[in-house]
A = this chain, B = another copy of it.
Amino acid sequence: MTSLTIIDIAKICGVGVTTVSRAINNHPDISVDTKAMIMKVVQENNYVPNNNARNLKRTASKTIAVLIKGMNNPFFIQMIDLFEKGIKDQKYTFILHRVYEHQDEIDVANELVKEKKLKGIIFLGGYLSHSQDKLEKLTVPYVLCTVGLSSEFDTYNYSYVSIDDYAESYKMVDYLCRQGHKRIALISASMEDRSIGQLRFQGYKQALEDHGLLFDQQLVRPMKRHLETYSMENGYAVTKEMIEENIEFTALFAISDSMAIGASKALLEAGRSIPEDCSVAGFDGLDMSFYYHPSITTIRQPIARMAEETIKIMFDLINKKVTHTQLKFPAELIERDSTRIIQD
């Protein structure tokens, strides 16, 4: 059952292949009648053009790829739908491509550009620790959305959309301090992390300092390397360990909602109530943080607006309207039931 080719269709229609090609690709130079006739035959015979041959020959296509690193993150899953919608609204084709932890996103991107003749790329998640040189090898416009960047990057050579991880983390810790907390535990990224995790850690540190609180290394717990990063499981394991070590703290700030939930479970299991015995705060603003009981105080990232702007920048770049845009969205601290004011 070898499938039909454009030649077969041309023969059936009694026209040249070019004409068939014109019909299926909505080219202008073709009469309405011919086109209708050809399309009818195409339908009837269930002909589908071969994409490989197409891409091989084509010089460009109207497609944008989203490269996602860390798909188990519910946060990203939400964004994907928004991206897809936005891209399809502009009559572009949307491709979702997963990048695995060990893969180099730039290499993957370049292959994809070649293969699919992409018009643009949206990087979602992950960290970029490449040299500028390497980034510049990318021949199509790209936007970094919620991508961690190592600090040595020259800020003006690329476009990105994210929140200010440092400031938002500071905001949360500042809030906890104002609530009267003096011993605030932090579930942080691994010590080697040089981007988002590092920024959130710095925000924590600075807030403590500004409140005249001593920074206590014992209270900072990096997530476990052998467990999935930012996961409930990880927050649970880390917190359990702290409890077993009898570390004292009146508040716990986890740099993701998932970890905050894992942490909450560990605390509740150990018989501590939230927020009476211990306040818990998360980060991201996942649905789950609302549905948890008690609801988790968190920093909500404006997912919809971030996705929207990412797409806007993408198309502006494609249409050469702008050179580069950096956007840091403000996030919102949502006070819920997992935190409370404490007395000295």
Contacts and interface: CB of A to CB of B under 8 A. Distances in A.
Interface of A: 1, 3, 48, 50-56, 71-72, 74, 77-78, 80-81, 96, 98, 110-111, 114-115, 139, 231-233, 236, 261-262, 264-265, 268, 287-288, 290-293
Nearest to A265: B291
B264 A52 contact: no
A228 B184 CA distance: 37
A233 B54 CA distance: 43
B52 A56 contact: yes
A291 B240 CA distance: 13
A139 B265 CA distance: 49
A52 to B, nearest CB: 4
Contacts of A292: 265, 292-293
Contact of A293 (B3, B231, B265): B265
Contacts of A139: 1
Contacts of A110: 48
Nearest to A117: B52
B236 A291 contact: yes
6 smallest beta-carbon distances between A and B, as pairs: A52-B56, A52-B52, A52-B55, A265-B291, A51-B115, A268-B293
Nearest to A290: B265
Given A72-B77, A111-B48, A261 B291 contact: yes
A2 to B, nearest CB: 10
A226 to B, nearest CB: 16
Contacts of A56: 50, 52-53, 56
